Structure 1
Amino acid sequence: MRIKFLFFIFFLFTMSFYGQGHDWKGKRITNRENQNKSNTWINFRRDININSIPNQAIAKIACDSKYWLWVNGNMVVFEGQLKRGPNPNDTYYDEIDIAPFLTEGKNTIAILLWYFGKDGFSHNSSGQAGLVFDCAALNLYSDGNWLSKLDRGFSSTIDKNPNYRLPESNILFDARKSDFKWIDPNEELTGSSKANVLGTAESKPWNKLVLRPIPHWKNYGIANYTNPTEIPKEGHGEWIICKLPYNCHVTPILDIEAPAGLTIKMQTDNFDYMGLHVASVRAEYITKEGAQQYESLGWMNGHVVKYWIPKGVKINTLTYRETGFNTEFTGYFKSSDPFYEKLWQKATRTLYVTMRDTYMDCPDRERAQWWGDLVNESGEAFYALSPSSASIAKKGILELINWQRANGIIYSPIPEGNWNAELPGQMLASIGYYGFWNYYINTGDKETIANVYDGVKRYLDVWKLKPNGTLIDRKGDWYWGDWGKEIDKQLLYNAWYYLALKGYLNMSELLGKTVEADRTQKELLAFKEAFNNIFWDGKGYRRSDYKGTYDDRAQALAVVSGLADKTKYKTLLKIFKTSHLASPYMEKYVLEALFVMEESKFGLERMKKRYHNMVNVSPWTTLNENFGDETTTKKPDYGTNNHAWSGGGLTILAQYVCGLYPIEPAWKTFMVKPQLGDLDYAETGNKTIAGNVNVKIAKVDKGLDIVLTVPNASEALVYVPLKNKNVIIDGKKVYTNIKEDAYNIYRVKSGKHKISAR
């Protein structure tokens, strides 16, 4: 019953992906002077009288592109609205209960709108700035009675603007031209006019409005930098470096006194690091006369915030606001070697900073939902973050299929306005065993699998087989396998295809598609035989026309997919000990292959070697895009310094070192099959959708001690090596007839348990 209840709560939280049949009365409005220019900012205000405050007043709000909402001068929403869209045509909308902010009598609704006005790798511009507000409880709807005004205090910087991948512009605010007094109920929106009605809420170009499927951002509030004593009391015409506790999404804040007309610049270290050819976002502020406060509303990220403050400016305080995805850091990992704890911490921070409107590859250069990255990210989240994080994976899954082309091809990143190229390997990864199916096994969300099933089949049908039973070569729009060199691409594509079929077989069985399941099972068997006949040469897997080093990436996929049987493990191990071609994206699968082969000692050794620079040398709290030069101890400086695909080691530590993995959906049944290698002990845990799961494994003389927490209505299968025949659970000696390879397996019900194996 508890699991069913949690499922119910989970689905209430994530909601249905499409709208709830709302009858929209609010009109789409804008300012009469608005010309839909990029980086347009518009003020909207409506004053109403309320005789009685309702218990609940749900406001449904949509815009292109972002908004900030104040009710009676109180901040209610900090950066509302998701980037467009759920598919190439439609637009998201928000819901927020504004009842707690209302008073009897006069009430002021104030909304600041930011219109990106350009496409990007994470946004599909509608081409029309505007707002819809719809609150039935107050009988308040956006219409021609709302006041609106172009906010001329906002404009764009002259140069060093963001690269073309980002739909966001740099924000310049001139305090001599505008202020924020208009949000105060006691002030007026001077210079305003009646709003211009563009059409109904769901008319073109916004079309259908789809309820936001992920939560509003967590607002951590305003905070001081970690080096407040190093911040001077006045500007000197040089950069002031303000340190953040870790890499995060921030909006910088000023509290100063100044003469009018001086320019203050704000940016993070990421702007410098990436270089101008891939510039990220930054901000500028032009002072007015006297005391003033300002918060630059467009988020940026980094390890420091840099302020250029000219002479003549008195600094009262420099602070920041952190915002981020609304989830909790419930997962943890500890071990006898602090290296792996530090890797876990950096991977978790990397994961979190790459979550916002969508999963993204990096928060500075692109903010794009590349699905190869998302597969790794979503796997990590189930071990590191609370169940609310699953909603962003669900959003990505539905978007991927809803953007599918008429010819069946899927592509990412999406949402997008200036990209439409297919990366075949990443697309096969997304729909397969590690993508869609891993989401299901962790959440039990059958509805989402049912919604995307036909789209998965349509994409698999794009791929055809040669007479020899392997894939006909397809290069797609971008013939990509991984970053790096000596990539046996078509061999990788064959392995990814097999994993996609494996996931599709599981989906077919789940949904009762018996004909498809039988057909796919036969194809899997035939494909495995063909793969080994064609690509195995006795020393490893390779294409006959591939002349490079045996590709560790392709060997790894052969192992984790099950294409390689155990008789080949000894040979493949030699490749893994000499081939280090994989980028951090594919290294996750190499490490996993080693643990599947039960080479845990070398798996941990390779993990430490490959991540050494990122973990022990790099000063960053996050993991960068590439490994860099492993032959030196120089700081790694290859690619971005916060890249989604680099955290796969986190999954390995939880899933294989500590051995936690769900066998039945939503953690109803899960395994505990630890492989400590040379570690003396390791422990991990997280709040799963079924409840808290925790395990600690310690080596003792001639055996293991395990402390395990199993949630209510769940059970665990504990794997104990055959050599440890004396097993005591909660003080009682137990026996089992369940054996698998070199293990005895013990069923353990809900509760906290102590297991001794000698």
Structure 2
Amino acid sequence: MDPAPSSQTIAHLNDNWTWVKDWIDAPLKGEAGRLARFQRIVEVEAAALKVPIWVRLSADTRYKLLINGNRVCVGPARGSDRIWFYDTIDLGPFLRTGSNIIEILVLRFFPSENVAEPFGRTARPGLTIYGSIGDENISTGGTDTKWLGGPEDNRYYPQETPWDHFLNTYEETSSRTEEVALSPLKRHRLWNKQGVLSPWFLEPRCIPLAEETPCPFKAIRHSDSGLDIDAWHQLIAGRAPLTLPKGSKHRLELEFQVHSTAFISVTAERPKYSGSKVSLTYSEAYEVLPRPPPGQGFTFKDDRTQREGHGLVGPSDSYFFSGYAGGGDRTESYEPFWWKTFRFIVLEIEVSDEPLTLESLVFTQTTYPMAVVADWKATPLSNKMWDVSIRTMRNCMFDGYSDCPFYEQLQYGEDSRSAMVFHYLLSGDDRLGKQAISAFATSIQPHGLLLARYPAHTKQVITGFSLFWSMQVCDHMLYFNEPDFANRFLPTIDSVFGFFDRQTDPSTGLVANLPRRFWSFIDWNVHWGSSDVPKGFHDNGMPMEGRESGTWSFFTMIYAFTLRRVCTLLQQLGKPQQIAQYTSRADRAVSAIKQYCYDGEFFMDSTVEAHRPENPLSQVSQIWGILCGAIDPSSPDARRILLKAFDPQTEFAVASYVMQHYAFRVLSHTGLYNMFYHRMWDKWRLQLDKNLSTWEEDDVNGRSDCHEWSALHPYEYLTEVAGLKPLAPGWQVVYWNPRWKLYETIVAKVALGHQGVAQVSWRTTESVCEVSLSLPRELRVYSPGVHGNLVDRGVVDRLSLSFPVKD
């Protein structure tokens, strides 16, 4: 983050865009992208190292900065042609007195190819640097620059492999026969005058750089190597090098303590000649094999650590050592450009006709610096679930809210809405949330909806995700009370609502006839798959009923729900002008749900007329039918519906993990939360029994073992069990309803946005439960009275309540 951002800095950076000469910005061998290397040698005096050495830089598509062979950082943060970020780095801690080699590797993904989905890019490759070290200007651009660059042609990034359909960051690296040829750079001549914009609309990075920690290794699960396994352990622990005999082959299956996202580095004593090869295959779990081809069946996983009868599969990196033919110093190191996701790694080494001495294998965890200040202590099981949720969140946060780090690393509107509120409660940090909200807003399309995943290379519209984005704006205002930020997005929210209003059938009031070119995903469900469906609707993401007409009750329900949420936002912002219109639309939608989608007993997935007895009703429709207000949540009917829908003996299409967050909300609204609370965690208990260390994406497709939307526990523990919720923006007024009957004792800490950290604790004896609340400062607190009414507890920083324990 730039300590002193200015328009002048951006002007300098725009003047300094440059690139390597004779670059062809398209595939030559069917590759997804190509790597370019930039280098400059700098002489540094001791006096220069006594103060911070701030340098600003950016690149398209992603860069890795190294000083004297050591990784400093990767960047920029994910961007698009609407917003492109530059980074501000203090080089001082990485420089030494005397000669220093600054290298920048830039992985350029080609804009013409529909690959590398999470990596937005512009129409041009580029690198820009602005800064000085002491008296020496190290900026790119100008005529006297000492920067050199050239393509790194020995790294190949396949467009598609059996295990990689999104990232394209996996490498096939061949031996170098000579050092990389570097030459002076070609400066981009950009016209930045008279309102003509650069391809990169630069803004300073608004999130911190990723943090790095050691990645904990656990065990060598299997070894096909003629060497003693203890020698391999010594190498991995960093205690001793290991020499591999010439002509030998080695295959090891490495297990790590937990699911990880890490940089991997292999260093060997530089061989005389080229030819030795190392391969790294990454896997989240031991899987039942053979695995079905992508799109032709579900992956089956049971115990993630069970090797017998199972195997490790996944994408891989490979590297051929170049030896002295490729130049360099005494050692030769290989580090894939991008970080990798794994719980297991298959390490394979083929040694050429001379011995190969490995000096180190280093695994470095990298994530967004989450800085968790919240805490939870209750029972061993709930404590473990808390830890797994935080690990899941961390692994899905690098420079955005990624759905799953192993497969996609894409930021989706619905997924990130859940992740944001979880993150707010854990850290009180809204920087990643604000970056995501702002990015999504820039993706607005002519029809009024936002792109479902953004920043991303290709466009995808998932119908309901723009409504979840609208909720993100409401959530941020509630947790942080920043009116100026929220006000920026009101026109975009209105545009989203305009789409749903135009899609409302005037004869019924239902959102209907949704365009087939959009994906009207609702939830993952095994009951919703069929081959006998219209083209474009073949998946488990939407109910069977409604596929022919493009009409599902869910979209009318969530439209009404979001309209009411935004009415609350407008009240908070002091902008009542549109409240009447939005309220009228919500009322009309709710009336339509009652008339056409409710048969007097349950809510349909489409209309009552379209329902077929052979298709089970869904929990999702019951959840959102109540949340949108089609039935009063305090009514006996609401309780009846949920008791039936969540009864395991009845055949309802069960909500997957993403919708469990909203299942908890409706249980809370209807007074059934305590009754269902412990049984709701059964699926997560099963995951622990299967030895997952992060929460899986869903229990339908069997794909990812780490997905942000499944990390529900912090939200439930802190807002429902500990019972703290904001009643006014920025936690200026606090609602406290501790559910003390759910655990005998707890100690919980909750991040209250910018206010600080609160603590809730209680201990239960045979006769009484003593509950206490400690706030970071004096705040007005309300809590339920004995008759359900709100009781004003005053403006306090401490509060204690006693509840008699009854048999």
Work out whether the TM-score is over 0.5. yes
Aligned-pair distance for 1:284?
1.4
Given the two structures, how large is their TM-score scaled by the length of structure 2? 0.79
- For the aligned residue pairs, the C-alpha RMSD in angstroms reads 3.3
* Contact 1:127–1:205, Cα closer than 8 Å, also in 2: no
Partner SS for 1:359: coil
* Contact 2:43–2:97, Cα closer than 8 Å, also in 1: no
Distance in 1 of aligned mates of 2:92 and 2:737: 50
> Who is 1:256 aligned against?
268
Given the superposition, is the C-alpha separation of residues 528 and 224 from structure 1 closer, same or farther in structure 2, using an over 3 Å criterion? closer
* Contact 2:41–2:99, Cα closer than 8 Å, also in 1: no
Aligned-pair distance for 1:327?
1.8
Percent identity (aligned): 15
Find the partner of 2:321 among 284, 287, 303: 287
* Contact 1:76–1:98, Cα closer than 8 Å, also in 2: no
Alignment of 1:230-629 (within 5 A): 231=232, 233=242, 237-257=249-269, 260-270=274-284, 277=294, 281-289=315-323, 291-311=331-351, 312-336=355-379, 338-384=380-426, 386-388=427-429, 390-418=430-458, 420-432=459-471, 435-464=472-501, 465-467=504-506, 470-476=509-515, 477-484=518-525, 485-486=527-528, 487=543, 490-542=552-604, 543-544=607-608, 545-547=610-612, 548-565=615-632, 566-567=634-635, 568-572=637-641, 573-577=643-647, 578=650, 579-615=652-688, 617-628=689-700
2:709 equivalent to 1:645: yes
Partner SS for 1:750: strand
Alignment of 1:82-231 (within 5 A): 82-85=77-80, 88-99=81-92, 109-117=102-110, 118=113, 119-135=115-131, 139-143=137-141, 144=143, 145-152=145-152, 154-156=154-156, 161=161, 165-174=165-174, 176-177=176-177, 191-200=181-190, 206-220=199-213, 222=214, 225-227=217-219, 231=232
For residue 772 of structure 2, what is the amino acid of its counterpart? V
Partner SS for 1:226: strand
For residue 640 of structure 2, what is the amino acid of its counterpart? T
Partner SS for 2:284: helix
Distance in 2 of aligned mates of 1:365 and 1:275: 16
> Who is 1:634 aligned against?
none
Distance in 2 of aligned mates of 1:13 and 1:129: 23
* Contact 1:552–1:575, Cα closer than 8 Å, also in 2: yes
Distance in 2 of aligned mates of 1:362 and 1:178: 39
Aligned-pair distance for 1:580?
4.9
* Contact 2:403–2:709, Cα closer than 8 Å, also in 1: yes
Given the superposition, is the C-alpha separation of residues 163 and 458 from structure 1 closer, same or farther in structure 2, using an over 3 Å criterion? farther
- What does the per-residue CA deviation read over 1:691-732, in whole Å, with 9 as the maximum and x for residues that have no partner? 111212334445421122201243433445x2xxxxxxxxxx
Distance in 2 of aligned mates of 1:193 and 1:350: 44
* Contact 1:281–1:300, Cα closer than 8 Å, also in 2: no
* Contact 2:422–2:714, Cα closer than 8 Å, also in 1: yes
**Ranges in structure 1 where 5+ consecutive residues have no aligned partner:** 1-11, 180-189, 629-636, 723-738
* Contact 1:429–1:499, Cα closer than 8 Å, also in 2: no
Aligned-pair distance for 1:530?
4.0
Partner SS for 1:240: strand
Find the partner of 2:24 among 30, 35, 49: 35
For residue 522 of structure 2, what is the amino acid of its counterpart? G
- What does the per-residue CA deviation read over 1:11-60, in whole Å, with 9 as the maximum and x for residues that have no partner? x99999x9787322542111114323512232232536779638444322
Distance in 2 of aligned mates of 1:378 and 1:541: 30
Distance in 1 of aligned mates of 2:616 and 2:782: 40
Given the superposition, is the C-alpha separation of residues 372 and 176 from structure 1 closer, same or farther in structure 2, using an over 3 Å criterion? same
For residue 364 of structure 2, what is the amino acid of its counterpart? R
Aligned-pair distance for 1:157?
6.0
Aligned-pair distance for 1:252?
1.5
Distance in 1 of aligned mates of 2:108 and 2:189: 18
For residue 75 of structure 2, what is the amino acid of its counterpart? G
> Who is 1:187 aligned against?
none
Shifted more, 473-482 versus 492-501: the winner is: 473-482
* Contact 1:15–1:213, Cα closer than 8 Å, also in 2: no
- What does the per-residue CA deviation read over 1:103-155, in whole Å, with 9 as the maximum and x for residues that have no partner? 78766543222223354331223243321001278644212423323253641
Given the superposition, is the C-alpha separation of residues 369 and 701 from structure 1 closer, same or farther in structure 2, using an over 3 Å criterion? same
Given the two structures, how large is their TM-score scaled by the length of structure 1? 0.84
* Contact 1:19–1:211, Cα closer than 8 Å, also in 2: no
Given the superposition, is the C-alpha separation of residues 239 and 276 from structure 1 closer, same or farther in structure 2, using an over 3 Å criterion? farther
Shifted more, 160-169 versus 702-711: the winner is: 160-169
Aligned-pair distance for 1:744?
4.8
Aligned-pair distance for 1:210?
1.9
**Ranges in structure 2 where 5+ consecutive residues have no aligned partner:** 27-32, 221-228, 234-241, 296-312, 324-329, 529-542, 547-551
Aligned-pair distance for 1:676?
4.6
Given the superposition, is the C-alpha separation of residues 157 and 526 from structure 1 closer, same or farther in structure 2, using an over 3 Å criterion? closer
For residue 225 of structure 1, what is the amino acid of its counterpart? F
Distance in 2 of aligned mates of 1:20 and 1:493: 47
Distance in 2 of aligned mates of 1:593 and 1:667: 22
> Who is 1:631 aligned against?
none
* Contact 2:285–2:343, Cα closer than 8 Å, also in 1: no
* Contact 1:600–1:675, Cα closer than 8 Å, also in 2: no
Find the partner of 1:696 among 756, 761, 781: 761
Given the superposition, is the C-alpha separation of residues 481 and 403 from structure 1 closer, same or farther in structure 2, using an over 3 Å criterion? same
For residue 82 of structure 1, what is the amino acid of its counterpart? A
Given the superposition, is the C-alpha separation of residues 142 and 50 from structure 1 closer, same or farther in structure 2, using an over 3 Å criterion? farther
For residue 64 of structure 2, what is the amino acid of its counterpart? W
